[in-house]
Amino acid sequence: MKFFKLIKSHWKLTLGIITLIASPVAYASKDKLPLSSKPQIETVSPERKDLQETLSVSGEVAAEEAVVLKFQTSGLLSWVGVKKGDPVKKFQAIASLDKRQLRKTLEKEMNDYLSERGDFEQTQEDNKSAKDRHLVTDSIKRILDKAQLDLTNSVLDYEIQDLTVRLATLTSPINGIVTKVDTPFAGVNISPATAEFEIVNPESVYFSAEVDETDISKIKTAQSASLILDAYPEEAIASAVQSIEFSPKSGGTGTVYETKLSLPDNNSLRFRLGLNGDALITLNQAFNVLTIPEKALLFDQNKPYVEVLEKDQPVRRFVSIGITTDEYVEITSGLNEGDLVVLPAKNAKKK
């Protein structure tokens, strides 16, 4: 009790002593707390890898040999020799117009020719004496020239009509498969616009890709590629660049160039017109080259550099680069395998 009375009577002195004792403890505790944690520097050493620079483009299956056949004139469709899906050979007849009127007209043209031939010979005979005596006047010359022209015109009329008879039968100029028949039944009157026949050679199919103008300089013929068609998503089809169009493709919103890529043999008709897909074209590749992660590469006025850890401090070092992929960059000079390349912080932005 005496102790508590003593404290009560001297409470100001007691409070001062407690304050003096507590202050060093508080400052000591404050010194032990970290004011700011030291950032951890993440590094990586260059590694040797095989790199492949690629370009992904979209497209569809098309065919080099594809034709649309039409009759030149209207008429009665007398015969249809194919249906959709039928295979056809080159020069095979597939349909024909009624030729009865055409043949009658051809006979008439022949008769006109024979008549003109007779008139021509008679004119020559009538003026034979004048020709023999070299007394051909301008009037006689005009008569002889007119007879010759009339005979020539009759020959041309016959040949034109004969051609019309021949063109009344449609023949396929290629081997292939019939993919379209507008009028499958004979006995109806048709016009060139209402009777079309489409034939496609399945052995001439290729993958038609659209390459943007910003990437067209990277594409070259014979570059290898891998195709993934939507119809066969689990199968990678080996391919190669066959050709690159010189003029851009019309009808699109941007400037793109058709690039043709090869397809394997199509004997089983797996590759059909219009199948969509993607092509991964190999632009460049290198084997066993020194690489770093792409995110470690920085630029200063388009000059590539990295930060290398030297004596626990990041030091800038300019480098030369080769192939660049989405994940790695080839280093051709400026780094060694044992160097510690600093990786930027996750939230850091590239300059």
- Domain with 178, as residue range(s), is 71-198
How many structural domains comprise the chain?
4
Does residue 81 sit in the same domain as residue 193? yes
18-32, 54-68, 311-325: range with lowest mean pLDDT:
18-32
Does residue 209 sit in the same domain as residue 61? yes
Does residue 299 sit in the same domain as residue 272? no
- pLDDT for residue 130: 59
Does residue 296 sit in the same domain as residue 188? no
Q: Yes or no: say if 298 and 332 are a contact pair by the CB < 8 Å rule.
A: no
What global pTM score does this model have? 0.69
Does residue 260 sit in the same domain as residue 324? no
pLDDT at 276 over 60: yes
Identify the sign of the CA torsion 186, 191, 182, 71.
Answer: positive
Mean local confidence (pLDDT), 178-205 = 94
Dump pLDDT digits (tens) for 66-125.
999 999 889 999 999 999 999 999 999 999 999 888 888 878 888 888 888 888 888 777
Mean local confidence (pLDDT), 144-168 = 85
Give the alpha-carbon dihedral of 184, 187, 192, 193, to 10 degrees.
-60
Q: Is residue 32 part of a domain?
A: no
- pLDDT for residue 30: 43
Q: Yes or no: say if 202 and 176 are a contact pair by the CB < 8 Å rule.
A: yes
Q: Mind giving me the DSSP string for 26-87?
A: HHHHHHHS-SSPPPPPPEE--EEEEEEEEEEEEEEEEESSEEEE--SS-EEEEEE---TT-E
Does residue 82 sit in the same domain as residue 161? yes
User: Which CATH number fits the domain that encloses residue 332?
Assistant: 2.40.420.20
Does residue 61 sit in the same domain as residue 208? yes
- pLDDT for residue 166: 87
Please state, for a pLDDT cut of 90, what percent of the chain lies above it. Answer: 59
Does residue 135 sit in the same domain as residue 167? yes
Does residue 278 sit in the same domain as residue 298? no
285, 300, 317: which is the final residue of a domain?
Answer: 285
